[in-house]
């Protein structure tokens, strides 16, 4: 029996999934987190996720997905490759990574009785990953429901937000500063505002600046 007041958040400790965590804490009575450990570029990512979970007293499932690296020798999991943003599909591409993550997340949601699975995937910053598209998530939702004869809701609160709007959402929970200071987005593994140069930092910082300017202008 799934509890509609219980949500499981797919949680990496980055800006987007931490925003999703605060979203879940605002709208659900019970919240648990799941993090997939798959040989991330920076071991720090897992520590950041664990710390945020602990600070908020949330049950945190850390699942070992190192199997992924067997399937996908590439930049996200092999530390000796360069990150490139030139190709249409980034060479950080792990085929079907979200398919695999959401398969595990929905199975875990079944086990803990959570009706809603929340993931921070986002089509607006679409970076060439087909399994970040809305159409994929909706199909995945139907497939998971059929697989377990249940009516899960895979919620994607950031799907149509750009980075500026994601910062606005965090601010609406009073958590902009917390997320700015305590999350890790940077490809170089530098916390908070990061290296400022990699594509992830640029996206994050441009969004933040745009939001702060807009907020100031509105005062």
Binding interface with a copy of itself (CB under 8 A):
63-65, 67, 70-72, 94-96, 98-100, 103-104, 106-108, 110-111, 130-131, 133, 135-136, 139-140, 142-144, 146-149
The two structure tokens encoding residue 131: 């399994």
Identity of the residue, 160 or 195, whose beta carbon is nearer to a copy of itself in the bound complex? 160
Instruction: Characterize the bridge pairing of strands 3-10 and 30-37.
Output: parallel
The two structure tokens encoding residue 94: 């792990």
What DSSP assignment string belongs to 158-219? TTT--HHHHHHHHHHTT-HHHHHHH----TT---TT--S-SHHHHHHHHHHHHHHHHHHHH-
Identity of the residue, 37 or 165, whose beta carbon is nearer to a copy of itself in the bound complex? 37
Identity of the residue, 143 or 182, whose beta carbon is nearer to a copy of itself in the bound complex? 143
Least distance to a copy of itself from the beta carbon of 215, Å?
Answer: 37
Q: Is residue 186 part of an annotated ligand binding site? A: yes
Q: In whole angstroms, what separates CA 36 from the centre of its chain?
A: 11
- For residues 25 and 15, give the distance between their C-alpha atoms in angstroms, rounded to a whole number: 15
Q: Is residue 87 part of an annotated ligand binding site? A: no
Least distance to a copy of itself from the beta carbon of 125, Å?
Answer: 18
Q: How many CA atoms lie within 13 A of 87 on its CB side?
A: 9
Q: How many CA atoms lie within 13 A of 120 on its CB side?
A: 25
Q: Is residue 70 part of an annotated ligand binding site? A: no
Q: Is residue 19 part of an annotated ligand binding site? A: yes
Q: Is residue 106 part of an annotated ligand binding site? A: no
Q: Is residue 122 part of an annotated ligand binding site? A: no
Q: For residue 77, what is the DSSP state?
A: T
Identity of the residue, 73 or 196, whose beta carbon is nearer to a copy of itself in the bound complex? 73
Identity of the residue, 34 or 200, whose beta carbon is nearer to a copy of itself in the bound complex? 34
Q: Residues marked as binding for ATP?
A: 11-21
Q: Residues marked as binding?
A: 11-21, 186, 195, 198, 201
Q: Residues marked as binding for Zn(2+)?
A: 186, 195, 198, 201
């Amino acid at each position: 029996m799934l509890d509609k007041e219980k949500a499981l958040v797919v949680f990496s400790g980055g800006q987007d999934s931490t925003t999703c965590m605060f979203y879940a804490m605002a709208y659900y009575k019970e919240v648990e987190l799941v993090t997939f450990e798959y040989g991330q570029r920076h071991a720090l990512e897992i520590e950041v996720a664990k710390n945020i979970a602990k600070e908020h007293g949330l049950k945190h499932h850390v699942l070992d997905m190192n199997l992924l690296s067997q399937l996908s020798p590439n930049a996200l999991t092999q530390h000796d490759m360069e990150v490139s943003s030139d190709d249409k599909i980034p060479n950080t591409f792990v085929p079907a990574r979200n398919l695999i993550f959401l398969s595990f997340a929905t199975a875990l949601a079944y086990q803990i009785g959570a009706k809603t699975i929340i993931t921070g995937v986002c089509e607006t910053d679409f970076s060439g990953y087909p399994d970040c598209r809305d159409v994929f998530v909706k199909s995945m939702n139907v497939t998971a429901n059929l697989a377990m004869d249940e009516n899960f809701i895979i919620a994607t609160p950031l799907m149509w937000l750009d980075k500026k709007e994601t910062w606005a959402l965090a601010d609406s929970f009073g958590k902009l500063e917390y997320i700015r200071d305590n999350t890790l987005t940077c490809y170089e593994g530098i916390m908070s505002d990061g290296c400022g140069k990699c594509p992830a930092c640029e996206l994050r910082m441009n969004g933040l600046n745009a939001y702060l300017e807009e907020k100031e202008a509105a005062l």
